Structure formats: C-alpha cells, structure tokens
Amino acid sequence: MLLLAIDTSTPTVIAGVVSLLRPHELIGEQPPAPVAVAAERTVTGGFAHAEQLMPLVAAALAEAGHTLKDLDAVVVGLGPGPFTGLRVGIATAQALGDALDIPVHGVGSHDALARTYLLDGPVDGDFLVVTDARRREVYLSAYSAQGARRFGPAPIAPAAAPAALKAAAVAPTAMIGAGTGLLVDGPPAAPVAGRLSAGLVLAAAVALVTGVVPGPLTPLYLRRPDATEPGVRKSVLGP
C-alpha cells in the first residue's frame, strides 16, 4: 500500500510518502520491515501551514517517484495541536481523500510519535510524550514499552504531572516530544531518530490492512475556544 502521511499538529509541518506491507508480504524467515519511508519533507515555522503543506506533499511525491493518483490512502495526525494548524492538515487530508476517492485515516499525533520512537529499538519501561499546550501547561501522554497508551493525552500543569502519573501507576524512564523542556521534574529526555510519517502509518496500520472504514476526523485541539455562544439574555424588567 502506498500512503501519504501528514501532520500539522506542531510548528513542524510533515508530509511523507510511505509504503505499508500487507500481512502476507511479511511471511518468511527474515521478513522485511512493515513500513518504509520513500520520502519525507518537513518545514518548521509557527505560521503559514496552509501555504507550506501542499508544496511539501508535491515535493515528497516527486522524490518518491509517484503522483497523487498512486496513493491508496491518506493518514493524518489529529493532534493535540492548535486550531489553525490542525485544521489545515485535516482539511487537506479530507480534500485529497474526496478528490482521489481514497480513505483518510486519522490518528493521534502523540500515538504516532510514540510509534516512531519505538522504531529506534526496544525501550526500558514506560515513557512519556510531551508537547506544549500553551498557557503554562503541557499535553501529556504515557506509553508502555510495547506502545500501549496508559495515560492521556491530557493538558496538565507541569508541577501536577508527577502526581497524575503516580495516580495512573505510570513510572516513566524517558520522555520525548517538543515539550520535554517544559517538564522539569520529568524523566530524562530522549531523542527520536525515526521519521514521524512512519509512526503515523504504524498508528493506523491495523485499520489500513484490514480495510476498516475510517471514522470521522475529530481533532484534539489544545483547548476549547475562549469564545462561547451567548446565552439567553435576561430581561432587566424582571419576569
């Protein structure tokens, strides 16, 4: 399967062309890796996600020697992330899926990063994924050494993280993600050498190879909007 993987949940916009092997292709004494990144393009900047994403998609496809018509599906990160950036990735994925008549699978961006980290090799114990939730908070998820999510994703003040993890019986030995510098009482920060587009595909792999019809692409924003719909006005004259 040839897949386009995109993520706009952080200031780094990512577009990758990834091949995913089906189960019968993994049979053998030395089976190949289930995913292979043919090309990945990234650019980091706080703004202009809408202007950057499609040129990255085109560049990744050109490097991989493919066109949009060769794609079997699209995988997109659903956050947590800021409203504007996240909507760019989801809307682009939906538009490509509609235009090409192919499925679009959404996955948690923390789940994708966790799977990317596990591509580097076995890990020793639980680990955290930490991203900036702004307003002096982090978005925190915890995973087992096998990649099962044990906590989160949840917005939390850094000072409250140790107690929350203890209550969830999580004892992390490492943390990854762009927000690790904000969690001063956390475990040692670890690098992630793999490509996120591979992690995005791995997070959706079961659904992709079994032909599950994708569910709605529901984004996980950093927080609810400050603005809310006004309630019913009260009369100053009384009932």
CATH number at residue 102: 3.30.420.40
Q: Does the pLDDT at position 227 exceed 50?
A: no
User: Model confidence over 85-114: pLDDT tens digits?
Assistant: 999 999 999 999 999 999 999 999 999 999
Q: Are residues 90 and 204 in the same domain?
A: yes
Q: Are residues 146 and 30 in the same domain?
A: no
Q: Are residues 103 and 165 in the same domain?
A: no
Q: Are residues 205 and 159 in the same domain?
A: no
What's the pLDDT at 57?
98
Looking at the structure of the chain, the number of domains it has is: 2
Q: Are residues 172 and 143 in the same domain?
A: yes
Torsion angle, alpha carbons of 155, 159, 164, 167, to 10: 180
Euclidean distance between CA atoms 140 and 62, whole angstroms: 36
Euclidean distance between CA atoms 144 and 69, whole angstroms: 38
User: Model confidence over 128-166: pLDDT tens digits?
Assistant: 999 999 889 999 999 999 999 999 999 999 999 999 999
C-beta separation of 38 from 64 below 8 A: yes
Q: Are residues 28 and 96 in the same domain?
A: yes
Q: Is residue 65 part of a domain?
A: yes
Q: Are residues 21 and 102 in the same domain?
A: yes
Sign of CA dihedral 17, 20, 25, 28: positive
Q: Is residue 113 part of a domain?
A: no
- Which domain range does residue 81 map to? 2-108+198-210
Task: Read off the pTM.
Answer: 0.89
DSSP-assigned letters across all residues of the chain: -EEEEEE-SSSEEEEEEEEE--GGGG-SSSPPPSEEEEEEEEEE-SS-HHHHHHHHHHHHHHHHT--GGG-SEEEEE--SB-HHHHHHHHHHHHHHHHHHT--EEEE-HHHHHHHHHHTT---SSEEEEEEEEETTEEEEEEE-TTS-EEEEEEEE-GGGHHHHHHHTT--EEEEESTTGGG-TTS--B----S-HHHHHHHHTHHHHHHTPPP------BSS--S-----PPPPTT--
Q: Are residues 68 and 137 in the same domain?
A: no
Q: Is residue 90 part of a domain?
A: yes
